[in-house]
Amino acid sequence: MKKISGVLLIDDDDTTNFLNQRLLERMQVTDNIRTFVNGKQAFDYLYNVSNKNYEHTDANYFQPELIFLDISMPVMDGFEMLDLYERLNPDFRKNIVLAVLTTSTHPQDTDAAQKYSAEYLTKPLTAEKVTNLINKHFSAADQKA
């Protein structure tokens, strides 16, 4: 399986973030994983990365290729974050796959996720779901020579 540059896990549940991070590490999907407990933290991070508002020597900053985003969170929920995310530079966003990862199967939520051209996954995150996402969006054919 192709290794991607980085993954962001955005969920207000620390246990969910921990389990998802362990799954991704076990699958060796990436060497860079960051977790956030609300949309505001994650958006601030993405804003700084997209505008290069950090030292290039800072290894804590990387451009993710995959983001898993919960919908229901305090401070700023997933859809509020998606609204802000849509305002980031399109050249920055075009290399990022966004996956809404939620317990909700409500049609209103699934429709809203499609509006943002985000993948829609129900919890829990599994190796199969990760593999399918990576194969769909990061196949070898997509690689630049």
Which strand ranges, in their side-by-side order, compose the sheet holding 33-36?
33-36, 7-10, 66-69, 97-102, 119-122
Strand 7-10, strand 97-102: pairing: unpaired
Q: What is the pLDDT of residues 20-34, one digit of tens each?
A: 999 999 999 999 999
This prediction has a pTM of 0.90
Mean pLDDT of the chain: 89
Q: Which two tokens stand for residue 96?
A: 């990022």
Specify whether the CB–CB gap between 86 and 72 falls below 8 A. no
DSSP conformation letters of 19-41: HHHHHHHHHT--S-EEEESSHHH
| Integer Cα distance of 121 and 61 in angstroms | 26
CA triple 49-7-2, angle to 5 deg: 120
Nearest C-alpha neighbor of 115 from the set 60, 78, 142, 88: 78
* Record: fold of 7-127: Rossmann fold (3.40.50)
Q: What is the pLDDT of residues 39-60, one digit of tens each?
A: 999 999 999 998 887 766 666 7
> Residue 68 pLDDT more than 60?
yes
Q: What is the pLDDT of residues 99-139, one digit of tens each?
A: 999 998 888 888 888 888 899 999 999 999 999 999 999 97
